[in-house]
Amino acid sequence: MHPLLLAAAEASRKIHHKEGHHRPPVNHAVAPQHIDYIPGRLSMVNPMKVHLVWYGSAWTEKQKKSVADFVSGMGQSDIWNVAAKYYNTPVNRTERTYVTKQVTLGNQVVDLGSKGNILNTDPSNPLNDVPVIINKFIQSGELPSSSDDVYLLISDKNTLEGGACQGYCGYHSSVKSDEIFAGQPYPFQHTDFKYSWVGNMEACGPDFMVFYCGRRNDVISPTGDVGIDRMFSTIIHEVMEASSNPDVDNDETAWNDAEGNENADMCAYQYGPNAKFENGYYYNAEWNGQKYYIQSNYDPERQFC
């Protein structure tokens, strides 16, 4: 392949990996952080659906229900009340339009592995496999075409993605951001949708999942499935970031600190003071009959996790 196309492919993948859930926690005592908004830039203020693309053949119905129940309750959770403090303002205006609290579960589709069990490692392909897979379902009508929604591709325990096992558990981006950053247009009719990838990090082995994709509950977890429980914090991390920064290239991103961290990055691996312990596991949130151990989100009003 032409070297420029290879460079575009690498550039595209770097922007995704930048948004990963693996960053070390920010030490506020040493370097106090402050998240700021750039007027005129957009967050997701309209009602949002989160569509699920189940990638791989190893998903069980119990696992699917656990994730769907988690996603369907995010918008009514305490942590989303913090996400909804983020807002848009027009340039040279003061009125604010806040991130939506109407976050609901959208459509669900299954891809048994059309791109194989290793995504985004083909050097001859300059396009990210994740939005290509999602677009297939948009074009077939199985997923709606909407700039107000988030399309979440979640891969099973037998699927690897790019360099994920080297240090990240998920990312979010948009087709618009990919095209700007990589200079490689996607051949899509719908040219800008927001998407995320989160993997069941059992695919990387137990050591990576334990040390990079969460804290505590390494052996016993609320659902009894450590791989699935580890995904919950990453899922809400990426969807919260997508809600405040739907387009992640430098010319479009709305909310960041001075180092480029997004809101959930600034609270990575921080779970708040209210965790409870029972039956051998920790949890700090509960909805739809499930308990979860999920990270905090950065509060733009208090400027603290």
Return the exposure string of 282-295: e unless at least 16 CB atoms fall within 10 Å of the residue's CB, then b.
bbbbeeeebbbbbb
Query: Measured between alpha carbons, how far is 5 from 227 in angstroms, rounded to an integer?
Result: 35
Q: Coil, strand, or helix at residue 123?
A: coil
Neighbours of 31 (CB within 10 A): 10
The pLDDT of residue 256: 94
SS3 state at 197: strand
Q: Would you say 44 and 191 are in contact if contact means Cβ atoms under 8 Å apart?
A: no
The residues that bridge with 290 in the sheet, in sequence order, are 287
pLDDT of residue 119: 94
pLDDT at 248: 86
Return the pLDDT at 264: 96
**Residue for token pair 């609901």:** 104
The structure tokens 């305490």 sit at: 78
Cα separation, 162 vs 114, in Å, equals 16
> Is there a contact between 104 and 44 (Cβ–Cβ < 8 Å)?
no
Overall residue count recorded for the chain in this entry: 305
**Which residues of the chain are under the pLDDT cut of 70?**
1-32, 182-184, 190-191, 209-211
Whole-angstrom distance, CA of residue 270 vs CA of residue 33: 15
pLDDT of residue 301: 96
**Paired tokens of 295:** 């990270």
pLDDT at 11: 34
Quick check: 221 and 281 in contact, CB under 8 A? yes
| Mean pLDDT, all residues of the chain | 86
In this prediction, residue 208 carries a pLDDT of 74
The answer to whether 194 and 149 have CB atoms below 8 angstroms apart is: yes
Q: Taking each helix axis from N to C terminus, what angle separates 226-244 and 61-73, rounded to the nearest 10 degrees?
A: 30
- Helix-helix angle 175-182:3-18, to 10 degrees: 130
SS3 of 128-180: CHHHHHHHHHHHHCCCCCCCCCEEEEEECCCCEECCHHHCCCEEEEEHHHHHH
